[in-house]
Structure 1
Amino acid sequence: MSRWDKVCQLHRLLDRRRQPLDRNTLCSELDCSPATLTRLIATLRDEFGAPIENLPGAGWRYGADVRGRFELPGLWLSDDELHALALLDQLLGQIGPELLGRALAPVRERIAQMKALLPDDGHGLERLRLLPQGRREVRGTILGTLARAVVERRRLHFEYHSRGKDEHTQREVSPQRLAYYRDNWYLDAWCHKRRSLRRFAVDRVRRVTLRDKAARIVSPDELQRHLNAAYGIFAGLARHTAILRFSAARARWVAEELWHTRQHGQWLLDGRYELHVPYGDPTELLMDLLRHAPEVEVVAPAALRAAYVERLQAGLGVHEITNAEQAGIQHPDEIAPP
């Protein structure tokens, strides 16, 4: 921790305590020697004008009349906090700066200036990476309009292209919230055409018009019940519970993962891990299970198990190896090392 980090930490310690802090406590909190503590107190008091009181035999504190009101000049962040802020800045750029547009530009410029305060002029931040996967392109003007409609509770009209049915429909909706899920944006809205709650992939929205008409408001409980009760991005009620058993090798990862807010898991005697997950539409759950094949067994329900086996067999059918290909395949033990 740099000297300036310790000055900032000392300020925070004194600012939030009514009782004085003795030398041993401060040295322990700041991880410094008594001599260093003396220099830090002098810096904070003499260079920054901090209202430090020294109570003989008790320690140091801020004066009661200014406690909670004295601030260090400017925005002071520790190195750790600045690195965390840099990651947040990257995340903002990744999920779409169009959401807040120019309003955040001065803030991001200020963050860029603060990055330069790091010992290496911020060049080390280039090694901090957020790696999106499967992100689909969203038009900035559309995302901004949807966000405005959600905040102002106004209706929207747009054209929507359904990938599954490959059809275009006109929709009048009352937007409820925007959700960012697995690197993509979704709009939760009451659809006046279907007369029910729907979830729309924002990248499939076109020709948006912001209406002056007030949106229909759906309660948070109803939104949770219809859009977040089941598994993944698919809306609907969680009518089933999947019982999944993962191999001992894969269990070390899965046991620490959150698949659903109402999941239940337990270790089995043989080292495997059994996970119970609520779901409605099995589509996304099956996709996630295939990522773990052959390290997972679908125990129940029978319909989910059959669908999983069918997907596995279909995949094998696509990759069926002919006798000629089999003859040309070398066993790993037969491949000569380079």
Structure 2
Amino acid sequence: MDRYERILALHRTLQAARYPVTVARLQDELGCSRATVYRDLAFLRDALMAPVVGDGEAGFRYDPDGGGRFELPGLWLNSEELHALLAAQQLLSRSGGGVLSSALAPLQQRIEKLLDEHSTGRNWPMQRVRVIPHRGRRMDEHSFRIVCSAVLERRQLSFDYRARSTDESTRRTVSPQRITHYRDNWYLDAWDEDKQGLRSFSVDRIAAARLLDSPARDVDDAELDRQLAGGYGIFSGEPKGWATIVFGAKAARWVADERWHSQQQGRFLPDGRYELKIPYSNARELLMDVLHYGADAEIVEPKALREQMRGMLQLAVANYD
């Protein structure tokens, strides 16, 4: 490792040590000579003002009475952390359909500057980190910013909302609770002041958003989870029931590693198939996900959900007659 990484590794070793660390151990952990260990210790103590105490006989550590926990000045990252930051930077710049591009441009520039400072003249192969958004929707950046401000500033919000299910436009006044990113799209969980209940709004369907002076009503987190996160997906309403889905042996290898719901229950059957049980509140969303697996998935229970799937498949087949 280079000197930068050695200093970072040395700092972390001394920071975690409850007792003095011998020079031999430091040599082994840093992969360097005894003289290099002493040079790095001197740099850490004299240039970075670290509270290094000890000697070559007993070992070195940070002074426990040095006036608090010492941290390296600035931002220090090792190679693995730097590579992870690089990948995160690509995710930041390429996801979200550009809705965050202008708002986060200053932050992205700082990340790029940090990468340059630590690259030691190396050109990073950015094209080897790919981010491919899936079915993200177009969204107005101005509305998104106002929604976020309302959530964080705890102020009521007024906006026009056009529901996808009915295509009806209404004016809403809400107390924002939280903003949720779900399947490459953003949703606002809020208390609807007119309907006096919790609702989830797709942010891409919000227009003419305006912050109000009135403070937002706070709903307990447990109640939010009970009504908005208790069933499958993020749609409002408590779970209507539990669905049992059996996947064929081929699909089982994928489904067994997937997280459909925080309370899901799954097990492999003796014949290699996989049984998944999940609570759900919005039947259509669950049916669409099961359809994704085609003939490799079968809804076993409840009977009403099974019949809904049968009806959807019959209508789909009719399109090809």
Regarding TM over 0.5, the answer is yes
Alignment partners' CA distance in 1, 2:29 and 2:248 = 44
1:186-221, Cα deviation, whole Å (9 max, x unpaired): 111111232211100011111112111222221111
Residues 269 and 216 of structure 1: CA distance in aligned 2, closer, same or farther (over 3 Å)? same
Partner of 1:302 in structure 2?
A: 303
Structure 1 residue 27: deviation in Å?
4.5
Contact 2:22/2:56 (<8 A) preserved:
no
Q: Under a length normalisation based on structure 2, what TM-score does the superposition of the two structures give?
A: 0.88
Alignment partners' CA distance in 1, 2:167 and 2:184 = 22
The residue matched to 1:75 in structure 2 has which SS? coil
Contact 2:228/2:235 (<8 A) preserved:
yes
Contact 1:15/1:67 (<8 A) preserved:
no
Structure 1 residue identity aligned to 2:143: I
Partner of 1:323 in structure 2?
A: none
Partner of 1:195 in structure 2?
A: 196
The residue matched to 1:294 in structure 2 has which SS? helix
Partner of 2:205 in structure 1?
A: 204
Alignment partners' CA distance in 2, 1:120 and 1:129 = 23
Structure 1 residue identity aligned to 2:189: D
Partner of 2:290 in structure 1?
A: 289
Alignment partners' CA distance in 1, 2:54 and 2:170 = 73
- Bigger Cα Rg: 1
Structure 1 residue identity aligned to 2:275: E
Partner of 1:78 in structure 2?
A: 78
Contact 1:231/1:281 (<8 A) preserved:
yes
1:247-291, Cα deviation, whole Å (9 max, x unpaired): 122111211211111111111111111110000121111111111
Structure 1 residue identity aligned to 2:149: R
Structure 1 residue identity aligned to 2:148: A
Contact 2:242/2:279 (<8 A) preserved:
yes
Structure 1 residue 11: deviation in Å?
1.0
Alignment partners' CA distance in 2, 1:98 and 1:314 = 37
The residue matched to 1:146 in structure 2 has which SS? helix
Structure 1 residue identity aligned to 2:201: F
Contact 2:97/2:136 (<8 A) preserved:
no
Contact 2:22/2:60 (<8 A) preserved:
yes
Structure 1 residue identity aligned to 2:63: G
Partner of 2:107 in structure 1?
A: 107
Q: After superposition, where does 1:1-338 map in structure 2 within 5 Å?
A: 1-23=1-23, 25-30=25-30, 37=37, 40-41=40-41, 44-45=44-45, 48=48, 50-66=50-66, 69-93=69-93, 94-95=95-96, 105-116=105-116, 117-119=118-120, 121-320=122-321
Contact 1:100/1:144 (<8 A) preserved:
no
Alignment partners' CA distance in 2, 1:125 and 1:27 = 34
Structure 1 residue 316: deviation in Å?
2.6
Contact 1:190/1:197 (<8 A) preserved:
yes
Alignment partners' CA distance in 1, 2:252 and 2:170 = 44
The residue matched to 2:263 in structure 1 has which SS? coil
Alignment partners' CA distance in 2, 1:136 and 1:86 = 25
Structure 1 residue 22: deviation in Å?
2.5
Alignment partners' CA distance in 2, 1:294 and 1:35 = 67
Alignment partners' CA distance in 1, 2:84 and 2:123 = 13
Moved more, 227-236 or 66-75: 66-75
Structure 1 residue 174: deviation in Å?
1.3
Alignment partners' CA distance in 1, 2:288 and 2:81 = 37
The unaligned stretches of length 5 or more in structure 2 are none
Contact 2:23/2:56 (<8 A) preserved:
no
Contact 2:156/2:215 (<8 A) preserved:
yes
Contact 1:230/1:237 (<8 A) preserved:
yes
Alignment partners' CA distance in 1, 2:51 and 2:221 = 47
Alignment partners' CA distance in 2, 1:186 and 1:247 = 33
Residues 82 and 302 of structure 1: CA distance in aligned 2, closer, same or farther (over 3 Å)? same
- Identical positions, percent: 44
Q: Under a length normalisation based on structure 1, what TM-score does the superposition of the two structures give?
A: 0.84
The unaligned stretches of length 5 or more in structure 1 are 321-338
Alignment partners' CA distance in 1, 2:67 and 2:271 = 59
Contact 1:16/1:68 (<8 A) preserved:
no
Residues 99 and 106 of structure 1: CA distance in aligned 2, closer, same or farther (over 3 Å)? closer
Moved more, 217-226 or 117-126: 117-126
Moved more, 177-186 or 87-96: 87-96
Alignment partners' CA distance in 2, 1:67 and 1:16 = 16
Structure 1 residue 60: deviation in Å?
1.9
The residue matched to 2:318 in structure 1 has which SS? helix
Residues 49 and 319 of structure 1: CA distance in aligned 2, closer, same or farther (over 3 Å)? same
Instruction: Give the superposed CA RMSD.
Output: 2.6
The residue matched to 2:194 in structure 1 has which SS? coil
Aligned length: 319
